[in-house]
Amino acid sequence: MTVPPPLFDTALARRRLIRARRAGYADFLLARAVDDLDDRLGAILRRFTVAVDLATPNAMVAERLRLSDRAETVLRLASAPETSGGLLAIGDPEALPLAPARFDLAVSLLALHAVNDLPGTLVQLRRCLKPDGLFLGCFLGGCSLIELRQAFGEAESEVEGGISPRVAPFADLRDVGGLLQRAGFALPVTDTDLVTVRYPDPFALMRDLRAMGMTNVLTERRRTPLRRATLMRAAALYAERFSDPDGRVRASFELVWVSGWAPHESQQVPLKPGSAGARLADALGTTEHVPFLDSKREP
């Protein structure tokens, strides 16, 4: 059986992230996700013993966890070397160097959309959690950069007679809950936050993507340089179709949030169908209607 090539060039992705950090990482999207994470953890009346930050692009999450005192010990597992306070390890998010049942909190922001084996990574995350440990993650979803994808797709078709892969295929919200269940998480929850960022022109968006280390790292990417004619046509299409009355253009980033717990006997479980001890109609003080029987009644 032929094994398909990996979707992402992970070595190139690490180099692009290192370059972005050195030049000044554009952290506006990550900062929003960190604030949202703070709110979500604030609803959990619990202090965690040992937490791990998995491959978030910079140390912002680990630092927030330490300052908030929500975890006694915080380990950061980074995909590339960095200067960071506290406990730091370098590792591959798809081959986690973490002991089983070691952590009671695992967090990962804006990283898991770029792993080649998301189901496998989720399984490893669940294994590294103690029973009743929590995983909270945020990654880019399928609506992200849809404007850029459309503009480049049409521009390449017009100018070069074909389309090359430029923007990664992001996970769909409808599939993520199933992935959490397959990985063995209990009580999985998913939701989405669509963030619209406005730019003076499409080139400003492209500069931000470079400053986030989010330029094209697809294995099947075209290796020849981008033609100037294609780039200019894509920018023109983008401005024509996705600009506001003031001339600024829009860019969509869909933040998909996921959470799940390592199974534990204390957790709530759904009742079996038909096992309820009371009828909903009685609780509401109404008459119960059975559609099949009602349809057989004479008018």
- DSSP for the chain reads -PPPPPSB-HHHHHHHHHHHHHH----HHHHHHHHHHHHHHHTS---EEEEEEES-SSTHHHHHHHHHT-EEEEEEEESS----SSEEEE-BTTB----TT-EEEEEEES-GGG-S-HHHHHHHHHHHEEEEEEEEEEEEBTTTTHHHHHHHHHHHHHHHSS----S--PBPHHHHHHHHHHTT-EEEEEEEEEEEEEESSHHHHHHHHHHTT-S--BTT---SPPPHHHHHHHHHHHHHHSB-TTS-EEEEEEEEEEEEE---TTS--PPPTT--SS-HHHHHT-----HHHHHHS--
The answer to whether residue 2 is domain-embedded is no
The answer to whether residue 299 is domain-embedded is no
Question: Domain tally for the chain?
Answer: 1
Mean pLDDT of 41-55: 92
Segment among 17-31, 45-59, 210-224, 243-257 with least mean pLDDT: 210-224
The answer to whether residue 116 is domain-embedded is yes
Mean pLDDT (the chain) is 85
pLDDT of residue 87: 77
pLDDT of residue 284: 64
Angle between helices 10-23 and 202-211 (to 10 degrees): 100
Q: What is the pLDDT of residues 254-285, one digit of tens each?
A: 999 999 999 977 776 655 655 566 665 666 66
| d(C-alpha 57, C-alpha 111), whole Å | 7
Question: Domain holding 212: CATH number?
Answer: 3.40.50.150
Residue 13, Cβ neighbours under 10 Å: how many?
A: 20
Task: Work out the percent of the chain whose per-residue pLDDT is above 90.
Answer: 54
In the structure encoding, which two tokens stand for residue 259, read together? Answer: 């959470």
Confidence (pTM): 0.83
The answer to whether residue 263 is domain-embedded is yes
The answer to whether residue 200 is domain-embedded is yes
Mean pLDDT of 189-210: 95
| d(C-alpha 295, C-alpha 292), whole Å | 5
Query: Which amino acid does the sequence have at 206?
Result: M
Mean pLDDT of 94-112: 92
Q: Name the pLDDT band for 241 (thresholds 50, 70, 90).
A: very high
The answer to whether residue 72 is domain-embedded is yes
Mean pLDDT of 95-114: 92
The answer to whether residue 293 is domain-embedded is no
pLDDT of residue 121: 92
Q: Provide CB contacts within 8 A for 218, sequence distance 6+.
A: 7, 8, 9, 165, 166, 168
Residue 60, Cβ neighbours under 10 Å: how many?
A: 19
Expressed as residue numbers, the domain containing 205 is: 10-268
In the structure encoding, which two tokens stand for residue 136, read together? Answer: 């909270």
Mean pLDDT of 175-183: 87
pLDDT of residue 297: 43
Say if strands 249-261 and 129-140 run parallel, antiparallel, or are unpaired.
Answer: antiparallel
Q: Provide CB contacts within 8 A for 228, sequence distance 6+.
A: none
